Homo-oligomer: A and B are copies of this chain.
Amino acid sequence: MLRSVTYRTYTTVATSISPISKTLSTAPTFDNIIKAIQNDTNNNEKSIPIINAWITSIRILKNVTFVDLNDSTTADPLRLVINNNINNEDTLHSIKRLNLGQSVSITNLQVQRTPDRQQAFEFKLQPTSQISIIGDIQPDYPLQKKNQSLTYLRSINPIFKHRTNYFKQQLKFRSFMEFQIHYFLMINNFIKVAPPIITGNDCEGANNELFKIKPTDAYLTVSAQLHLETLLNSTNKTWSLIPCFRAEKSNTNRHLLEFWMLELELAYIDDLEPLLDFIREFIIYLVKQCREHENDLLPRYYPNGVDDRETILTRWDSLIDPSKWNTVTYDDAIKKLQESGQDFVFKPTWGKALQSEHEKWLAESYFNGTPVFVTKYPKDCKAFYMKQTPENPETVECFDLLVPGMGEIIGGSLRENNSAKLESEMDRRGMNKRGELNWYIDLRKNGSVPHGGFGLGLERLISYLFGNHNIKDAIPFPRSADSQIKL
């Protein structure tokens, strides 16, 4: 019997099947309430049997009390307006006990459109309404003021930090970005795989930075790359987003012991150019999505020391413009640095790694605040698996993407797919003495293909786009060199 003549390509986009949960879409959450009143164009007012929410602000005026409520299903809080002359002793008593941070249930409200006010909708307390405190707070509840300092917020327990508008929006921003990353790669037929966290291999030569785990005699992975490469024959395009671990001593704004890395490998790539083109398309897609959803994503309040809304939007708009992206070879970058007349702490020297100050000057001064790919570094600056530049045995087919304020957020290369060249480079570096990477070399001996890929530090990207200049804010429970790990 003939099989179906519809040729099977691996297409994966969601279909006509409704993905909305009936259970959740009928719950009395703020997003559902707003949706209901927006859909009902005949009515500007609706009765709501019950709401559950947290109090984010209370303001008592002479005749009226404003209570801002948020159940975290919407970016903005909804305002509850209470007439202080309300004729209900119970309610008046309840109102006096209200405090910022409490969770409350309120029955029999009205919600109405208020297009002429700062809030587009507001709740009105009715004489029959009942307010119950579901979860009270302790006297030392640490979030009293609206705009507490970043230093203070970073110092308090994560159970409080994320209740502030700024950190809450950062959680949502990361969640949004993760989805958009997943969506973009899925649409473009990448296969997401789960490389192991527990591994026998050190991918990056990060020997002193490995976490050893007991009771196995193994390590926590520093990168998924080698494992992704093993799956390339099965997937053509593959990616993963996994936690990676480096027992680094550096306690900076750009380092974490535990960070999430998006890694991606592409088969049949034998030139850097399509790889850089793809990255530019990918980032531009992500930033366009941010721009499209800016009202959902950006905070209402910006603590001191982070970029404000305008700075962020200017950055996004600049990133969206493909003409603002630059590429420079390492050779040229060194020349530009040497000719800059700048007084660097480390003298720019061919053959040495670029220092933070060099990266900063390139992205911020020379390329005027735009992203720049630096390509073809000397081989001794980079990892063993990178492909030799055909016309120059001293350099490799690699790149770093540098951005202003953050430095490198992506690093990648073509991978050496010639087993003899790979082995000789490993010998030169004194690697693989015990044959522990023979399996990796063997990949090149069985249907090998030219390929390349990159790693993107998710927290660095989030931090750069969200404008907080500290990757410790881009992950809810940061693990860094000086953190005591209790939670």
- Please report A residues at the B interface, Cβ cutoff 8 Å: 2-12, 14-15, 17-25, 27, 29-31, 34-35, 38, 52, 54-55, 71-76, 101-103, 115, 117-121, 134-138, 141, 157-160, 162-163, 167-168, 171-172, 174-176, 178-180, 182-184, 186-201, 211-218, 220, 226-227, 230-231, 233-237, 242-243, 245, 247, 257-258, 260, 267-268, 274, 277-278, 281-282, 285, 288-289, 292-293, 295-296, 417, 436, 439, 442-450, 475-477, 479, 485-487
Contacts and interface: CB of A to CB of B under 8 A. Distances in A.
15 contacts: A12-B293, A15-B292, A17-B288, A19-B184, A22-B281, A24-B189, A134-B450, A137-B445, A162-B234, A175-B192, A182-B182, A198-B245, A201-B487, A214-B214, A220-B220
B23 A160 contact: no
Contact of A487 (B200, B268, B477): B200
Contacts of A25: 188
Contacts of A157: 439, 442
A404 B421 CA distance: 52
Given A4-B295, A447-B135, A260 B486 contact: no
Contacts of A200: 485-487
Nearest to A217: B485
A39 to B, nearest CB: 12
A402 to B, nearest CB: 21
A236 B74 CA distance: 10
Contact of A258 (B168, B183, B184, B197): B197
A213 B220 contact: yes
Nearest to A196: B477
Contact of A31 (B135, B189, B194): B189
Nearest to A17: B288
A226 B476 CA distance: 13
Contacts of A268: 27, 29, 52, 71
Contacts of A55: 447
The 8 closest A-B pairs by CB, nearest first: A135-B448, A72-B236, A8-B75, A162-B234, A7-B120, A196-B477, A175-B192, A218-B485
Contact of A477 (B35, B227, B258): B227
Contacts of A6: 120, 295
Nearest to A259: B194
A234 B72 contact: yes
A193 B476 contact: yes
B188 A179 contact: no
Contact of A289 (B15, B214, B218): B15
Contact of A213 (B138, B211, B446): B211
Contacts of A477: 195-196, 227
Looking at A417, A442, A486, the one whose CB has the most chain B CB atoms below 10 A away is A486
Contact of A9 (B35, B213, B258): B35
Contacts of A444: 135
A417 B242 CA distance: 32
Contacts of A172: 10, 191, 235
Contact of A237 (B73, B117, B162, B190): B73
Contacts of A233: 54, 72, 103, 159, 162-163
